[in-house]
Amino acid sequence: LTAIALIRIISTSALDNGLALTPTMGWLHWERFMCNIDCDELFMEMADVMVKVGWKDAGCEFVCIDDCWPSHKRDTQGRLQTDPKRFPSGIKKLADYVHAKGLKLGIYADIGTSTCAGYPGSLGYYDIDAKTFADWGVDLLKFYRRFMPDWHQLGEGYANMSRALNQTGRSIAEVHLKWKIPDYEAIRKTCNHCVKSILDWTADHQKILVPVAGPGGWNDPDMLIIGNFGLSHDQQQTQMALWAIMAAPLLMSSDLRNICPKAKELLQNKQIIAINQDPLGKQGYHTLKGDSFEDTGGPRRCIISVAMLPSWQLCDPKCNVTQILPVYKEMGVQNLFSEVMVQVNPTGTTLLTVSPIKSSHL
């Protein structure tokens, strides 16, 4: 279910409530647990852990259910029902549990006739489904587009679901997923390059993507797979840095009950989260692609001249440069003529912040 998405607040009161003023942060079960059973326990334990070991304090607020949660049949009144094997206690009870922890609950549905995994879609049931989600106390809807008989109806469908959610009176954040742009199915097959492919695609389309991102609506390159099995630590740092710069929702999909300490530290890194959660809500642009590194097997040393930084204006007359990744390091006061030396690991990332120093403070 990897895709580029747009989170949009549809409740009229949403912006007043402060919903999604910064990119959504939380946990989403899919990439790590897919259609596993015992979900009552899984989601409640994850909510427990989020509160107990620093996730909530770090800003993670949402516990999100992805596909596979419903029964294959609606009830006699046309309402979606939970799969009794996966969620024997139902979503309402889970929402209450999650809310009691001071967290919020997300759920998943499809705009068309069927979800990705073949469960009932919402087409023809937008009002009923919106009411069901509101009755259950759901706070966020990931609204996918998998099977739509007539793709021209998409816009109308989204408008109708937005209106339906709005009429429930409950503030529900809505995530729209644009399926297969880019072709994530193909990317998955050579998945070492996932993160890089997402970067390339986003960079190629940044003229469209970047301007629409901002408080209330974010481009979403989907889940963080940090803490899972496929990425080296350097690659995990790369994903975290890119998601931060892209002002992307930080939805982790790993087993928080049993996560490697280095991955946890990375996901809870205050400096990186601060970049992502910057109140201005500006998604970063990809400004330069270089390929001048020598192939020396190990980390590459690289001299960056401050005047070449995208944020060089901040250094006129002076700025503070701080390295956030791969390790925190204060690089001191710099000016437009400064050069800073950084080291970049293969498949890794060096993340810098640049802060202006006002002349009055010099």
The type of residue at 334 is Q
Binding flag, residue 349, a copy of itself (CB under 8 A): no
Per-residue contact string for residues 41-80; x = within reach of a copy of itself by CB under 8 A: ----------------------------------------
Residues 178, 250, 277, 357, CA torsion sign = negative
**Helix (H) or strand (E) run with residue 157 in it:** helix 154-167
CB atoms within 10 A of CB 219: 23
Binding flag, residue 348, a copy of itself (CB under 8 A): yes
Residue of 178, 255, 277, 322 that binds a copy of itself (CB under 8 A): 255
Residue of 323, 345, 349, 350 that binds a copy of itself (CB under 8 A): 345
Closer by beta carbon to a copy of itself, 99 or else 233: 233
Strand 4-9 and strand 217-220: the pairing is antiparallel
Closer by beta carbon to a copy of itself, 148 or else 231: 231
Question: Cβ contacts of residue 311 below 8 Å, gap of 6+?
Answer: 319, 354
Of 48, 59, 67, the C-alpha closest to 20 is 59
Number of residues that bind a copy of itself (CB under 8 A): 30
Closer by beta carbon to a copy of itself, 215 or else 348: 348
Q: Per CB under 8 A, which region of 26-34, 52-60, 304-312, 327-335 contacts a copy of itself?
A: 26-34
Of 156, 286, 158, the C-alpha closest to 221 is 286
Give the whole-angstrom CA distance, residue 31 versus residue 38. Answer: 16
Per-residue contact string for residues 199-238; x = within reach of a copy of itself by CB under 8 A: -----------------------------xxxxxxxx---
**273-287 burial code (b ≥16 CB/10 A, e <16):** bebbbeeebebbebe
The residue ranges that bind a copy of itself (CB under 8 A) are 30-36, 190-193, 228-235, 255, 260, 295-299, 345-348
